[in-house]
Amino acid sequence: MQYGGVERQIFATAEEIAAEAARIISDEIASHDQLLLGLAGGSTPHATYTKLADASIDWGGVTTWMTDERWVPPADADANQAMIRSTLHTSGRIRFLAPNTRLELPEAAASRMTRAMRCLMNRRPSRAVTILGMGDDGHTASLFPGTRALTDTSVGYLANWVPRFDTWRLTASFGLLAAADVTLFLVAGEGKAEAVARIAAGEELPAGVVTAGERVVWLLDEGAASLL
């Protein structure tokens, strides 16, 4: 189903979502000399990365980057980049950009990541594709309901205080996410169904505000789509 640049595809299982996401990304990489690929944390993206790691892909023209990160050391078990590095085996074969959470302040890490992303975008890659997930409250990346980052109009990376978790998060802004040609939302589980339905009804939860130059594709399992 397609609604004005937003597509929704429904699959039986999260595993099928991961397979379709991996297929789309593999096709995008094969079709473009230079591709900027935004990566999210989470279990369904993890399954997608596992499939991509096992696929025959020429990563030479691909630069990957993290859409958000927790304010923990890079090797911490909770770090999104730790999962990405271990799953996609980025060392030595895939260009990978993540915020430096070893810095003293989250604002400094966000500022440095902003400069790095703007440098990448100024090189004008032929294609930009971004993978995102969604929480049961409708957040995406680390753009949580009620947080200050939701009102930021910049194209960059932000340090966002999240009272719900009493911690800092680093996240791409809406403006930076909008720079993608194609955005894939990977959403699985009945716990996400209410937020999916609210977004489909037009409510402006953070995930529903994300735009892309060409299309936003929601890959949903039957549980997540159960209230549509």
Of 171, 193, 180, residue with least CA distance to 131: 180
Does residue 197 belong to any structural domain of this protein? yes
Q: What is the CATH number of the domain that holds 114?
A: 3.40.50.1360
Instruction: Say what the pTM is.
Output: 0.95
227: in domain: no
Q: Where are the beta strands (DSSP E) in 58-210?
A: 62-66, 68-70, 95-97, 127-132, 157-162, 167-172, 182-187
- Segments forming the whole domain that contains residue 15: 2-221
- How many domains does the chain contain in total? 1
How far is 18 from 22, CA to CA, in rounded Å? Answer: 6
Per-residue pLDDT of the chain (228 residues; tens, 9 = 90+): 444 488 999 999 999 999 999 999 999 999 999 999 999 998 889 999 999 999 999 999 999 999 999 999 999 999 999 999 999 876 567 999 999 999 999 999 999 999 999 999 988 778 999 999 999 999 999 999 999 999 999 999 999 999 999 999 999 999 999 999 999 999 999 999 999 999 999 999 999 999 999 999 999 999 999 999
